Structure 1
Amino acid sequence: MKTKRNRAVQAAILMLVMAVIAGCSGGGSSPADTGTGDKGTDSEGTERKEVGYPAKLTYWVELNGNAAATMQDANGIAAYQELEKRTGTKVEFQHPPAGQSKDSFNIMVSSGNLPDVIEYNWATVSGGPDKAIADKTIIRLNELIEQHAPNLSKVLNENPDYKKQITTDDGNIYVFPFIRGDDYLLTFNGIIVRQDWMEKLNLQMPETIDEWYETLKAIKNGDPNGNGQADEIPLLLELTMTNINHAFIGAWGITTGFYQVDGEVRYGPIQPEFKEYLATMNRWYAEGLIDPDYAATDGTLKDAKVTGNQAGVFMGYMGSSLGRYTDLAANTIPGFKLAAAPNVVLNKGDTPLLGQKDSPFNGVGAAITTSNKNPEETVKWLDFRYGEEGHMLFNFGVEGVSYEMIDGYPTYTDEIMNNPDLPVTQAMAKYIQANYSGPFVQDRRYVEQYASRPEQREAIETWMKAQNDRLMPVVTPTAEESSRYASIMNEVQTYYDEMVNKFIMGVESLDQFDRFVETLKGMGVEEAVRIQQAALDRFNNR
């Protein structure tokens, strides 16, 4: 009896010890309970090691201008402050000087002195992300994402097109991407008109090239600003903006760069239609319908011309142009009103071939460098942003401060939308990153509120109306192709910029257009087309 009693006691003690050990090892709670581990199994059934968040990270990224207006580094953004509270990870941000991110990036990579994470537009990197991986600048993320990033994995599995876009031709996933999560977020730029001038002159919104010609003449001759002087600028032409929104040139179904027709890559400036576009711009310029100083007009001068009651038609963004100019002119120009014009066509009733439409993924995202000593933990930290908590944090900020849930809708507070000290873009940048970019999925509900005015919402709907199937996706040339492509296009772009302005201003006769085309071909632009074609073919075969 005594022996049996002793054995029972020993068994009870053993069970107690095992229970204590299980409790200490975390066996009584899941990673979802603690928020500090992601132990589980991978696709092959192998148990993953438990991973927490990193204690600290170095993070290189350009500081957005709206954020820079109110803070020294990105730790001033409330979303990052809250992220630190929830993960315990302290981030040391490294920001290149404003406007020098490309040069700073190249110097940093060449030096080999790398931070843990680099957030950048990897589509612009020489040789592309595959070369960056081969050069041991950044690491391949496929397996790490599968094992330690359940939130991003879910996004990619539910949206195969996103996965295709962030995967290189060699099959590498290299970045935690900035993804615009709705078609409504992809269009935000186009032609803007002074609607109050249109109404004063009894003009209908133009659609065709011919209607635009008549509209611009009416603005030039009708004194819509009412000062008795012929100081109106009918069209403030911006060729750099035309590269984005294909304003006017899109009527001919071409762009100022590379585009595709049924999978065949073409270069706009060597097409016959480009001569027709230049002839139109030359005629408008000669008749005073285009600002004579358009080539020398920077952002500051543009602001002055629009808010100085001079510009009738210009190109710009839904927020920083249409919205901002309305705010700036509200108290100085009675009746000031802007509206979006539709994408231009040649024939009345046609559906526009081209307008501005961005890709859901345009190359911007956060990559982990080879200097990072804790890639698994960093993957988990970056993945936080793609879950529900992180999504709300980086799109809307801190509940009760920058937004409130009203009938299930995250509604920005007056701290954002009616801040007495800051424009809405800067107020947003104090809390969130939804109004520019970062490694997360952008939420449509952000822009539904950012576009607070009816004319802004109408602008998005208007500019979205285009076929846009000729636009190129974000493609990545190989390292060898990239080097050759850059060599060709640097020379081509310099010559193109010089000659296009000469053609528009009449300094160079359009009789010389064929020579212009032959010169571009002599510089190797047809080889550049072949490089783009090869990259497009690989993209389509991913």
Structure 2
Amino acid sequence: MAEKKRNRTVFTSTVIAVALAAIMAGCSTDSTTKKESTDVPAGTQTPVTADNGKIVSSPLTISYYSQLAASRPSGMMDLNGMEAYKELEKITGIHVDFKHPTNGQETNQFNLMLSSGDYQDVIEWNWNSYPGGGQNALNNGVIIKLNDYIDKYAPNLKKILDGNPGIRKQISTDNGDIYSFPFIRNDPSLQTYFGLALRKDWLNKVQLQVPTTIDEWHTVLKAFKEKDPNGNGKADELPLLINKGNLNWGNYLINAWGIRNDFYIADGKVQHGAVLPAYKEFLTTMRAWYKEGLIDQDYAATDAKQKDAKVTSELVGATDMAIGGGIGKYLAAMKDKNAAFDLVGAPYPTLKKGDKPVLGQQDAIFNGLGAAITKANKHVIETVKWLDYKYGEKGSLLFNFGIEGKSYTLENGYPKYTDDVMKNKDGLAFGVALTKYAIPFGAPLSQDKRYMEQNAALPQQSEALKAWTNTDNRGALPPLSFTSEESSKIASLMTDMKTYNDEMFDKFIMGAEPLENFDKFVEKLNKMGMADAIKIQQAAYDRYLKR
């Protein structure tokens, strides 16, 4: 489930921004209203923390808008059914009236809430998808500035920010405002959950090692195609199943050429790989592999369900996988079907042997997901203290691991999940079983890497994480803030350019468009506004550096 919180690309954020832009236009308030909403009342005494007593002396209910994971135990209709929230209510005295949008309708219902002006007290959302980001949500008077509240009433989050300037930089706007209680992943093993994996048993059969370079990948894929590693006597192996969508952010092959088919940083400047000569080199290699039959000829029409069927039918030699929803899922599915079935994570490839991979999949410490307090909230201080509890030692244990003695036990200070989570008697997957007790993949929270150590407890998973995190990601763009005008402009530009880019990717790979026309492809992207898009990204990046 953690993997699905998945990295929000600039494209995704800006497309949603277009949908919201018209709605946001009517949400502004005057400066007086904003000042009243964001200033801490003078003379207020710092209250006792929740660890020493309840936050409120009499029952208090706050409303809270958040998405409800589809993968959850049956019967859990809202987060009040989770043991961690039941315990939090006992500790703090605050009851939460959760408002969960219908799965698949999250954005539409978020839009309706904003357009109506009838806000919940707290909104948990990926604020990168709001036109102009969190700063514009502040400017429009939807949510309130939190800096002073955090300084006075959120000692746990304040301690994290004071000790980690990099985190403060990421969760702040360009002018230093903090607008939400963030979901924080401050460890590479938490920020990385995705990469390439191969059938290890197939590698053993063809007597080859895990490939590390593009040339080695070609050798392995050719052996998978020609040596019948699935042993059924048929030439039905699909050596490599590529997921076109993940070329934009996972970059599990294109990174070998040192680029992304997306925005990234090179020599301090924003670039987009699609208009560079290295992209043509990448496409040339993919075209050659496709022509040789090393890439699944039907990759473009293969959805997630079909991918699962191909993998579990023992047709796929290599593909992109998530740590839990890929490696873990397939190993579990094939355990009784084929005891020899095995997977191994491969490092992001390079062109030259021994080079360190660049631009692998690694989310930012803060990906925009945060719990913001709206202007409708009449109990801001109490809400701040309630939100802050999760960042403390007890709150962190509660929401990363659940209830001691039920979902975890402490062994020499290490919170170890019980069999009810790890080996659920009803056959529930790890993420589903854990959600009965805790939710270590939402805001507000600082995710504990000991959660991932157990989520990725299989040797194949832990080794894959080591391979996938061994990358040089200095060229990855940090989370950027765009003005409303920039958001609207780049969304308009990238919607058309991405559609064209995707179409041409398939045409180049499948041979429908000769690679000799690559320069015409670049020329058209430039005419569609690539230079303007890069300029907007550069301006936002420059502002980020000055935070």
Q: Same fold (TM over 0.5)?
A: yes
Matched AA of 1:527: D
Of 224, 249, 259, the match for 1:254: 259
Whether the 8 Å contact between 2:54 and 2:93 is mirrored in structure 1 is no
SS in 2 for 1:326: helix
> Relative to 1, partners in 2 of residues 1:31 and 1:136: Cα closer, same or farther, differing over 3 Å?
closer
Whether the 8 Å contact between 1:122 and 1:363 is mirrored in structure 2 is yes
Q: Which residue of 2 aligns with 1:313?
A: 318
Q: Which residue of 1 aligns with 2:38?
A: none
Aligned-pair CA distance for 1:440: 0.7
Matched AA of 1:423: A
Q: Which residue of 1 aligns with 2:210?
A: 205
Whether the 8 Å contact between 2:199 and 2:317 is mirrored in structure 1 is yes
Q: Which residue of 2 aligns with 1:102?
A: 107
SS in 1 for 2:97: strand
Provide, for residues 307-366 of structure 1, a one-character-per-residue CA deviation record: whole Å limited to 9, x for no partner.
Answer: 111111010111110111100011112300000011100011111122111111111110
Matched AA of 1:466: T
Q: Which residue of 1 aligns with 2:276?
A: 271
Whether the 8 Å contact between 1:69 and 1:426 is mirrored in structure 2 is no
RMSD: 1.7
Q: Which residue of 2 aligns with 1:20?
A: none
2:117 is aligned with 1:112 = yes
SS in 1 for 2:198: strand
In 2, the alpha carbon distance for the partners of 1:278 and 1:209 equals 13
In 2, the alpha carbon distance for the partners of 1:533 and 1:115 equals 35
Whether the 8 Å contact between 1:67 and 1:74 is mirrored in structure 2 is no
Aligned-pair CA distance for 1:65: 2.3
Aligned-pair CA distance for 1:495: 1.2
2:364 is aligned with 1:359 = yes
Q: Which residue of 2 aligns with 1:394?
A: 399
Q: Which residue of 1 aligns with 2:411?
A: 406
In 2, the alpha carbon distance for the partners of 1:170 and 1:152 equals 20
Matched AA of 2:171: I
Aligned-pair CA distance for 1:182: 2.2
Q: Which residue of 2 aligns with 1:35?
A: 53
Q: Which residue of 1 aligns with 2:199?
A: 194
Q: How does 1:521-532 map to 2 (within 5 A)?
A: 521-532=526-537
Of 381, 386, 392, the match for 1:381: 386
In 1, the alpha carbon distance for the partners of 2:494 and 2:260 equals 16
Q: Which residue of 2 aligns with 1:515?
A: 520
> Relative to 1, partners in 2 of residues 1:539 and 1:33: Cα closer, same or farther, differing over 3 Å?
closer
Identical residues among aligned pairs (%)? 49
In 1, the alpha carbon distance for the partners of 2:130 and 2:492 equals 14
Of 408, 426, 434, the match for 2:432: 426
Matched AA of 2:521: F
Aligned-pair CA distance for 1:147: 1.4
In 1, the alpha carbon distance for the partners of 2:514 and 2:58 equals 64
> Relative to 1, partners in 2 of residues 1:523 and 1:94: Cα closer, same or farther, differing over 3 Å?
same
Q: Which residue of 2 aligns with 1:479?
A: 484
Matched AA of 2:433: A
Q: How does 1:48-447 map to 2 (within 5 A)?
A: 55-67=60-72, 71-421=76-426, 422-434=428-440, 436-447=441-452
Whether the 8 Å contact between 2:84 and 2:437 is mirrored in structure 1 is yes
In 1, the alpha carbon distance for the partners of 2:347 and 2:512 equals 31
Provide, for residues 211-233 of structure 1, a one-character-per-residue CA deviation record: whole Å limited to 9, x for no partner.
Answer: 11111111011111111111111
Q: TM-score, normalised by structure 2?
A: 0.89
Whether the 8 Å contact between 1:250 and 1:354 is mirrored in structure 2 is yes
Matched AA of 1:380: K
Matched AA of 1:183: P
> Relative to 1, partners in 2 of residues 1:407 and 1:113: Cα closer, same or farther, differing over 3 Å?
same
Aligned-pair CA distance for 1:107: 2.6
Matched AA of 2:546: N
In 1, the alpha carbon distance for the partners of 2:67 and 2:337 equals 35
Aligned-pair CA distance for 1:70: 5.1
In 2, the alpha carbon distance for the partners of 1:516 and 1:385 equals 50
In 1, the alpha carbon distance for the partners of 2:338 and 2:398 equals 38
In 1, the alpha carbon distance for the partners of 2:180 and 2:66 equals 14
Aligned-pair CA distance for 1:31: 5.5
Aligned-pair CA distance for 1:52: 6.5
Whether the 8 Å contact between 2:249 and 2:262 is mirrored in structure 1 is no
Q: Which residue of 2 aligns with 1:455?
A: 460
In 2, the alpha carbon distance for the partners of 1:336 and 1:343 equals 22
Aligned-pair CA distance for 1:89: 1.5
SS in 1 for 2:452: helix
Structure number with bigger Rg: 1
2:483 is aligned with 1:465 = no
Matched AA of 1:411: K
Whether the 8 Å contact between 1:477 and 1:535 is mirrored in structure 2 is yes
Whether the 8 Å contact between 2:360 and 2:473 is mirrored in structure 1 is yes
> Relative to 1, partners in 2 of residues 1:295 and 1:68: Cα closer, same or farther, differing over 3 Å?
farther
In 2, the alpha carbon distance for the partners of 1:374 and 1:304 equals 51
Matched AA of 1:375: V
In 1, the alpha carbon distance for the partners of 2:444 and 2:210 equals 39
Whether the 8 Å contact between 2:73 and 2:436 is mirrored in structure 1 is no
Matched AA of 1:35: G
> Relative to 1, partners in 2 of residues 1:99 and 1:31: Cα closer, same or farther, differing over 3 Å?
closer
In 2, the alpha carbon distance for the partners of 1:281 and 1:334 equals 33
Unaligned runs of at least 5 residues, structure 1: 1-26, 38-50
SS in 1 for 2:211: coil
Whether the 8 Å contact between 1:52 and 1:380 is mirrored in structure 2 is no
Matched AA of 2:463: E
In 1, the alpha carbon distance for the partners of 2:468 and 2:99 equals 37
SS in 2 for 1:178: strand
In 2, the alpha carbon distance for the partners of 1:540 and 1:243 equals 24
Aligned-pair CA distance for 1:105: 1.8
Matched AA of 1:382: L
In 1, the alpha carbon distance for the partners of 2:486 and 2:292 equals 44
In 2, the alpha carbon distance for the partners of 1:507 and 1:468 equals 34
Query: Which aligned segments of 4 or more residues in structure 1 are displaced greater than 3 angstroms?
Result: 29-34, 51-54
